[in-house]
Chains A and B, each alone.
Chain A
């Protein structure tokens, strides 16, 4: 085990800014990509749904 305590872990031997700055931005941006993909999928499905209803109204 490398760390004496959690505060020791978070301090990263004095390199906290660099280590957590790397991991934070990586996982933050990956999470953002996931959210954007979910929103994109949802908006496409809604748009296709609207197109279908509009086409059906046009037929009647």
Chain B
């Protein structure tokens, strides 16, 4: 069995590069400058959406008749929870692409997404706990929604720990991909947990089939905050993937040229 080592890939080409423009950006070398150009745009978009979303959430959306002002946690809790699940799916997707096509960049994308995904999982649990205390009278319950979200946090930690434990980055990518793809089963469990089990957690506030069960301004505030976190996640992951690219391709000619261009 022959393993692909960093030594024989850093100077080599991915097998699709040059064959099709579709795969052009699957090369770290071509993606690195593109990612660098995109970061400021996503960062500015994140700031603008966050400002608009917070304005809607705190100044336009009315006080809730049952929960008073405590409900305003929704504008950060729901977007953080959505991002925690969405980032996991995107991470598993890239891990799967890397495993299937053996493209280097895919694994780097998966690794770059994990810390931001873990952060949003923690923030969903944290803001949920602070919301649970005034509305349910408890910081924590072991119900299906909350427990499966905690398992998601451990999946992220497991993915990062596994990758960190393996020296060869290509083998770390493969091992991480198997773990990430296995863990995808947890995502529908989190999403449907409020329907499948009796739980303290309320049902979905938003669904594709029916109108949102909340005031239009509340819904708008939440969606704009989702966009803000989306833009933030893209910006943060692009910065992180650039760091990973530089670390893994450090011995290549193009990184040497990039370093010279900084002078």
Closest Cβ–Cβ distance, residue B229 to chain A (whole Å)? 9
Separation of A40 and B115 alpha carbons in the complex (Å): 13
Interface locus among B176-184, B207-215, B242-250:
B242-250
Contact at B240–A37, with CB atoms within 8 Å?
yes
Q: Is A54 an interface residue (CB 8 A)?
A: no
Cβ of B133: which chain A residues have Cβ within 8 Å of it? 18
Given A2-B63, A29-B119, A48-B255; A18-B243 close (CB under 8 Å)? no
With both beta carbons as reference points, the residue of chain B lying nearest to A20 in the complex is identified as: B130
Interface size class of A (residues with CB under 8 A): 20 to 34
Residue of A whose beta carbon sits closest to that of B132 = A18
The contact of A45 among B58, B63, B239, B262, by CB within 8 Å, is B262
Who on chain B is nearest to A43 by CB? Answer: B243
Given contacts A18-B73, A33-B119, A33-B236, contact A2 B58 (CB under 8 A): yes
Partner of B236, one of A12, A19, A37: A37
A18's partner among B58, B119, B130, B242 (CB-CB below 8 A) is B130
| Residues of A bordering B, CB below 8 Å | 1-3, 9, 12-15, 17-19, 21-23, 25-26, 29-30, 33-34, 37, 40-41, 44-45, 48-49, 51-52
10 residue pairs A–B, Cβ–Cβ below 8 Å: A2-B62, A13-B63, A13-B70, A17-B130, A26-B127, A29-B123, A37-B236, A44-B246, A44-B247, A48-B250
